[in-house]
Amino acid sequence: MLPAKPPVHESVLDAIGGTPLIRLAALGAGLAAPVYAKVEFLGIGGSVKDRAALAMVLAAERDGLLRPGGTIVEATSGNTGIGLAIVGRQRGYRVIAGVADKASAEKSDILRAYGAEVVLAPTVVPMEDPSHLYHVVRRLAEEIPGAWLADQYDNPANPDAHIRTTGPEIWDQTGGRVTHFVAGVGTGGTITGTGEYLKEVSGGAVTVVGADPESSIYGGGDGSPYFVESIGHFVHPDTVEDRWPESYRKEVVDVMEQIPDRESLVTTRRLAREEGILAGPSSGTAVAAALRVARELGPDDLVVVLLPDSGRSYLSKVHSDAWMRQWGFLEESQDEASQARRQGRGQESQEGEPQGLRPLLDGAGPVVAVHADATVGGALETLDGAPGGVAPVVLARAARPYGVSAIEVVGSVSRDALVAALADGSAKPAAALGALVGPALPTVGVGQSVAEARAALGATHPGVLVLVDGRAVGVLPRTALVG
């Protein structure tokens, strides 16, 4: 069959949207319902966010918020910034993107390549903190004359873009056969707009499925940080009032699938290897949710899952074996390539050290964590249960049902240091830990070797924190690693 005639565009802005559906033949094998991926990285800026960017700029011009010579400011994990950079520069504006400092470096580089200015700011601080990205971009928009904050989180033009483009495209491409639409929720623009349109046009027959990182608050998680970028909602434990974006109208979502990081990341890697689709981690979350849903469906159903961006921005993250191992998402025994390598060098593995750190963790108790605001006396009590008298200091005040995420570890504390400070009178039991908080323990993935854990320990650290699926599962004190 000849492919449809590719379109000819007079402007890059006309090339936004119009992305293909590709059937997930390998991952969907054996399922009665076909699963089609809407591959958004085939759009001009490489992500679904081009659609929202174009719609928001056109609406701001129409409403007189953006005038010639103006500046576009936005808080963005990267992709909306890329869309705004393309659209904004084409239409003659200065573009400033505020990027979360945990987003991948590649995204900032791409922004700069398109001519945007990048301002990095933290998001793992309470919302009330003036250094939070949310406040940083608002200040910039107030201070720069002629600046306009695109505000994808609360801008109705964001979901509108999907009511006008993504939804109709999917309806058209499937000839009205789509029964389930699956997408992740970041600002919520994609799922809200596309979901609303599909429900409306189908007379309510289309089921809308949200794909959420397991610990994200949208799907009912504990709000602790996770490793999939750009979707879900993390809540800092000290945040007083949490706010959800207005672009997300949660009544449009019928089912929320909570997807653990490992399932998202492994699915992202399978998409590349088995389907030839190199996508980002939020695509893995969405596909994992789509497969869960499709398993329950029949041949008359048709699932469309939206893949927001390409894996090229994450070659140093999800698509890197070293990164996967470093955060405890990959263990030697699960990795086919290294299994083959080990078989090829049987001798080395016989005389070598145990593969991975699991054997050393056997028998270690649960991770004992001290809150950053604890008192010296309180921390000492907590340390009673800590192996080797060392514990990570974390942001979480209460126990997290999903465990301590490596992302919220801010320091470490040791019993010896506290006892010494109390003995020499430099600290009182009721005082805050303050300067007694030492540097964060180095983290090692459970699949890393003992030699790597020793290297991480260096000359000074009292122990290492061992991670499984990005969560702390144990502390290996120095004594457990070196003689």
Ligand X SMILES: Cc1ncc(COP(=O)(O)O)c(C=O)c1O
Phi/psi of residue 301, each to 5°? Answer: -90, 160
Q: Give the one residue of 43, 184, 284, 387 binding ligand X; rule: CB under 6 A.
A: 184
Phi-psi region of 482 (alpha: psi -120 to 50; beta: other; left: phi over 0): beta
Question: What is the SS3 assignment for 52?
Answer: helix
Question: What is the SS3 assignment for 464?
Answer: strand
- Pull the structure tokens for residue 137: 């971009």
Task: Give the residue with the Cβ less far from ligand X, 245 or 462.
Answer: 245
CA distance 379 to 364: 20
Choose the catalytic residue: 38, 49, 107, 199. Answer: 49
Q: Report in angstroms how near the CB of residue 101 gets to ligand X at its nearest.
A: 16
Task: Give the residue with the Cβ less far from ligand X, 188 or 213.
Answer: 188
Q: Report in angstroms how near the CB of residue 319 gets to ligand X at its nearest.
A: 14
Q: Give the one residue of 282, 326, 414, 443 binding ligand X; rule: CB under 6 A.
A: 282
190 touching ligand X, by CB under 6 A = yes
- Pull the structure tokens for residue 161: 């873009």
Q: Give the one residue of 165, 166, 187, 443 binding ligand X; rule: CB under 6 A.
A: 187
Q: Which of 451, 457, 468 is nearest to 331 (CA)?
A: 468
Q: Give the one residue of 53, 55, 75, 80 binding ligand X; rule: CB under 6 A.
A: 80
Task: Give the residue with the Cβ less far from ligand X, 280 or 474.
Answer: 280
Q: Which of 229, 156, 219, 227 is nearest to 193 (CA)?
A: 156
Cα–Cα–Cα angle for 158, 163, 167, rounded to 5 degrees = 120
Q: Which residues contact 145 (CB under 8 A, 6 or more apart)?
A: none
Q: Report in angstroms how near the CB of residue 192 gets to ligand X at its nearest.
A: 8
- Pull the structure tokens for residue 259: 């997807």
213 touching ligand X, by CB under 6 A = no
19 touching ligand X, by CB under 6 A = no
Q: Report in angstroms how near the CB of residue 259 gets to ligand X at its nearest.
A: 13
Phi/psi of residue 390, each to 5°? Answer: -125, 140
Q: Which residues contact 281 (CB under 8 A, 6 or more apart)?
A: 227, 228, 229, 264, 265, 268, 314, 317, 318
Site map (CB under 6 A) of ligand X, residues 20-49, x = contact: ---------------------------x-x
Using CB under 6 A, which of the segments 18-26, 180-188, 405-413, 451-459 binds ligand X?
180-188
Site for ligand X in 435-464 (CB under 6 A): none
CA distance 248 to 238: 23
Helix (H) or strand (E) holding 443, with range, is strand 443-445
328 touching ligand X, by CB under 6 A = no
Using CB under 6 A, which of the segments 182-190, 405-413, 432-440, 451-459 binds ligand X?
182-190
Active site residue 49: yes
Of all residues in this chain, which one has the CB nearest to ligand X in the complex? 186
280 touching ligand X, by CB under 6 A = yes
Using CB under 6 A, which of the segments 110-118, 169-177, 185-193, 364-372 binds ligand X?
185-193
Q: Give the one residue of 27, 86, 163, 185 binding ligand X; rule: CB under 6 A.
A: 185
Q: Which of 432, 435, 416 is nearest to 374 (CA)?
A: 432
CA distance 201 to 183: 18
196 touching ligand X, by CB under 6 A = no
**Which residues are tagged catalytic?**
49
User: Which residues form the interface with ligand X (CB under 6 A)?
Assistant: 47, 49, 77, 79-80, 184-190, 230-231, 280, 282, 308-309
